[in-house]
């Protein structure tokens, strides 16, 4: 049985409610939550009927969708999961769903030849690999970079929808330097990924510059009134970040000519995988070393990229970046001239790795 989009919203909303075991959920409360979700995601203003939600609960209890949800009624009034760890998100994908997704992937593959779908190659490969593994119960054929411990990924979809709907957000955020979370109103403009970490580009209601928020530092957020939303009127973000390595940049920053010397051992790596799309080869020496130039704004991500090459890379220009890197390398060297403390055998795990 293929699931209709609106029906899936209802099932997921009921599931989210019942997973919150700190509240006692009556049928009327579930109806209210489902109605709110349908309005938020689909703009449906008519709400949902009592009969529909009751039918949804019965369907979730059954095996027709593969859920077999352990929904029970306490005191003939309150709905809950008898298994607190249960969620329909943990259910296996049905054959009908696999067939439907296969059709979608097939359509995407046919559209992949068009210029405006240039970025879909990796998405299609991911989808096909997941489908193949589900159908054939085989191992992965593609191993993708990921961090299952990374926080904040659950925020991506609702934040994306807030950007699409142009809704300001009350975000409770705790930076690494803050002692406690701080709530503030932001106008969201862009979600951006860098090195498997997600960021939200926003404009704070109290402020004059763009602010970048890491999703893993967002404690919670809620939507505000759309009529208070302030649209972004600055430089197009494609251009804005085209001059930047990473996500850290202010609107006042301007790209600079960064000239780098690269050791022969790392030169092939830098030539085949440029540090930035603006990279130019200025010179190639007889020993295999190279000199390249990139035009980027100076930020923390650029410094970290350069430092990652260690002694295999040297900054030749601009002068201020040379100074920044020199100081950081000097501080790093000092870490090994003074022994702060001795490691003990208890500092290592059973496999011999250091315990943080």
Q: Check residue 45 and give its pLDDT.
A: 85
β-bridge mates for residue 214, sequence order: 199
Q: Check residue 131 and give its pLDDT.
A: 65
CATH of domain 153-233: 2.30.30
Q: Check residue 14 and give its pLDDT.
A: 94
Helix (H, G, I), strand (E, B) or coil at 306: helix
Task: List CB contacts of 283: < 8 A, sequence separation 6 or more.
Answer: 290, 291
The model's pTM is: 0.63
Give the pLDDT of the chain (356 residues) as one tens digit per residue.
445 778 888 999 999 999 988 888 999 999 999 999 888 878 888 889 999 999 999 999 988 877 889 999 999 899 999 998 898 887 665 666 666 666 776 666 665 555 555 566 666 666 666 666 655 655 655 665 666 667 788 888 889 989 999 999 999 999 888 889 999 999 999 999 888 889 999 999 988 889 999 999 999 999 999 999 999 988 888 888 999 998 988 878 899 999 999 999 999 999 999 999 999 999 999 999 999 999 999 999 999 999 999 999 999 999 999 999 999 999 999 888 876 666 665 555 555 555 44
Dihedral sign from CA coordinates of 332, 338, 344, 345: positive
Report whether CATH 3.30.70 matches the domain 256-334: yes
CATH of domain 5-90: 1.10.10
Per domain, the residue ranges of the chain are 5-90, 95-136, 153-233, 256-334
Q: Contact, 210 vs 233, CB < 8 A?
A: no
Q: Check residue 41 and give its pLDDT.
A: 79
Q: Contact, 236 vs 189, CB < 8 A?
A: no
Q: For tokens 């029970």, what's the residue? A: 72
Q: Contact, 213 vs 185, CB < 8 A?
A: no
Dihedral sign from CA coordinates of 167, 171, 176, 177: positive
């Amino acid at each position: 049985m293929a699931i209709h989009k609106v029906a899936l919203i209802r099932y997921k909303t009921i599931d989210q409610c019942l997973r919150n075991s700190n509240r006692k959920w009556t049928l009327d409360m579930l109806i209210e939550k489902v109605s709110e979700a349908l309005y938020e995601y689909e703009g449906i203003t008519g709400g949902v009927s009592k009969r529909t939600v009751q039918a949804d609960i019965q369907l979730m209890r059954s095996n027709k969708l593969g859920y077999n949800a352990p929904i029970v009624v306490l005191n003939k009034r309150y709905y809950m999961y008898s298994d607190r760890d249960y969620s329909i998100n943990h259910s296996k994908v049905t054959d009908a769903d696999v067939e439907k997704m296969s059709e979608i992937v097939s359509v995407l593959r046919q559209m992949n030849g068009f210029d405006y779908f240039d970025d879909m190659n990796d998405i299609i490969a991911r989808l096909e690999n997941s489908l193949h593994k589900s159908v054939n119960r085989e191992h992965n054929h593609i191993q993708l970079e990921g961090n299952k411990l990374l926080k904040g990924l659950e925020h991506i979809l609702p934040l994306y929808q807030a950007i699409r709907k142009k809704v300001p957000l009350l975000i409770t955020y705790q930076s690494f330097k803050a002692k406690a979370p701080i709530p503030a109103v932001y106008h969201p403009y862009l979600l951006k990924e860098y090195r498997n970490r997600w960021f939200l580009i926003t404009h704070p209601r109290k402020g004059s510059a763009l602010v970048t928020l890491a999703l893993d530092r967002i404690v919670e957020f809620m939507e505000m009134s759309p009529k208070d939303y302030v649209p972004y009127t600055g430089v197009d973000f494609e251009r804005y970040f085209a001059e930047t390595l990473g996500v850290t940049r202010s609107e006042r920053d301007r790209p600079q000519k960064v000239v780098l010397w690269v050791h022969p051992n790392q030169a092939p790596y830098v030539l085949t995988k440029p540090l930035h799309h603006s990279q130019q080869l200025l010179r190639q020496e007889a020993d295999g070393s190279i000199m390249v130039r990139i035009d980027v704004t100076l930020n923390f991500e650029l410094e970290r990229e350069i430092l990652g090459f260690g002694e295999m890379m040297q900054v030749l220009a601009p002068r201020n970046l040379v100074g920044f890197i020199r100081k950081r390398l000097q501080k790093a060297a000092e870490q090994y001239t003074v022994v702060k403390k001795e490691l003990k055998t208890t500092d290592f795990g059973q496999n011999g790795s250091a315990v943080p």
